[in-house]
């Protein structure tokens, strides 16, 4: 099988592991910088070029598109889809997961547990947004934030109002969510591949930080999840239309709630915590499923 991986930094742990796993299984794999690809959008002859040369025909594409280049990265991925190359995750699914508001709406539509979440545009509705979200403390999130950046915990209604008004003044979109106190600064990430949870870990935030992101100094340990958590993770992946994703959940007094669905989950924390060869499982999934033109949306939507 011939694979292309869209990744700006081939030296990241996750990218090196995927290359290693592919080569171990005798597959060919090329890593190309997403931003250096360019496209010939010709009628019935879609093509992708890289460093002045037309890219060859691939069987599968692994999109490792950074949040900061989502727009261009999805355009490149759609071009591969229209060429009949099988994507690990489709452009439509990645786009859904990257839009925090849209992803929450889709999860809510499918009856998946969520923290109380509110959204409004008019700053005059701040008081109503706070009333809907419930009593402080409250979590305020930038829609475009990643890895815990742009997430603020407001301890009082007054501070929540001040933060919301500051973000509004900067012209950015935010979500306001209830703070799940019983989670104790920890969350659970379940890794889903092909509709199955293959590994799970508990992430705990650094001392004094309510965010559990490993990039922000958090720690991770393997954890056994409940049948309800397993079902929630699988349903969340299906809602987004993702073959491979990390589903981040909080354990609440009324069951698991989904905080985020990550379409390009890092492999280092999960592999180190569980000892499971996640990269190998991803390559095995591609080998079993990659067929020309099998993309459901074929670049549409």
pLDDT, average across residues 106-120: 91
Query: Residue 127 burial by CB count (10 A; 0-12/13-18/19+): exposed, middle or buried?
Result: exposed
How many domains does the chain contain in total? 3
* Domain-located, residue 36: yes
Query: Of the given ranges (48-52, 59-63, 218-222), which has the lowest mean pLDDT?
Result: 218-222
Domain span including residue 40 = 2-95+285-289
Q: Are residues 29 and 90 in the same domain?
A: yes
Express each pLDDT in 128-152 by its tens digit: 777 788 777 888 887 765 555 678 8
* Domain-located, residue 199: yes
Predicted structure pTM score: 0.86
Domain harbouring 244, CATH code: 3.30.470.20
Give the CB-side neighbour count of residue 45, counting CA atoms within 13 A.
4
Other C-beta atoms within 10 Å of 244: how many? 23
Element (H, E) at 161: helix 157-169
CA 79, CA 68: separation in Å to the nearest integer? 19
pLDDT of residue 223: 94
Using pLDDT thresholds of 50, 70 and 90, give the confidence band for residue 301: very low
In the predicted structure, residue 115 carries a pLDDT above the cut 80: yes
Q: Are residues 51 and 126 in the same domain?
A: no
Share of the chain above pLDDT 70, in %: 89
Domain harbouring 37, CATH code: 3.40.50.20
């Amino acid at each position: 099988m011939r694979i292309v991986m869209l990744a700006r930094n081939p030296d990241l742990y996750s990218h090196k592991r995927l290359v290693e796993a592919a080569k171990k299984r005798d597959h060919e794999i090329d890593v190309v910088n997403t931003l250096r690809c360019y496209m010939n959008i010709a009628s019935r002859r879609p093509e992708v070029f890289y460093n002045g040369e037309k890219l060859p025909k691939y069987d599968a594409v692994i999109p490792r598109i950074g949040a900061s280049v989502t727009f261009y990265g999805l355009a490149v991925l759609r071009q591969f889809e229209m060429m009949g190359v099988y994507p690990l995750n489709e452009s439509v699914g990645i786009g859904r997961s990257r839009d925090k508001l849209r992803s929450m709406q889709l999860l809510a539509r499918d009856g998946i547990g969520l923290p109380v979440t509110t959204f409004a545009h008019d700053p005059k509705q701040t008081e109503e947004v706070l009333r809907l979200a419930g009593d402080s403390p409250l979590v305020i999130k930038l829609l475009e934030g990643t890895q815990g950046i742009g997430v603020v915990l407001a301890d009082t209604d007054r501070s929540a109002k001040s933060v919301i008004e500051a973000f509004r003044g900067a012209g950015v979109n935010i979500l306001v969510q209830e703070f799940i106190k019983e989670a104790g600064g920890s969350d659970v990430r379940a890794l889903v591949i092909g509709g199955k949870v293959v590994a799970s870990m508990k992430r705990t935030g650094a001392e004094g930080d309510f965010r559990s992101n490993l990039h922000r100094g958090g720690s991770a340990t393997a954890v056994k999840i409940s049948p309800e958590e397993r079902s929630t993770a699988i349903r969340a992946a299906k809602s987004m239309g993702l073959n491979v994703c990390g589903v981040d959940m909080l354990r609440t007094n009324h069951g698991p709630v989904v905080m985020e669905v990550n379409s390009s989950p890092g492999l280092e924390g999960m592999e180190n915590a569980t000892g499971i060869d996640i990269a190998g499982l991803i390559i095995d999934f591609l080998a079993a499923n990659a067929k020309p033109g099998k993309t459901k949306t074929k670049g549409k939507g």
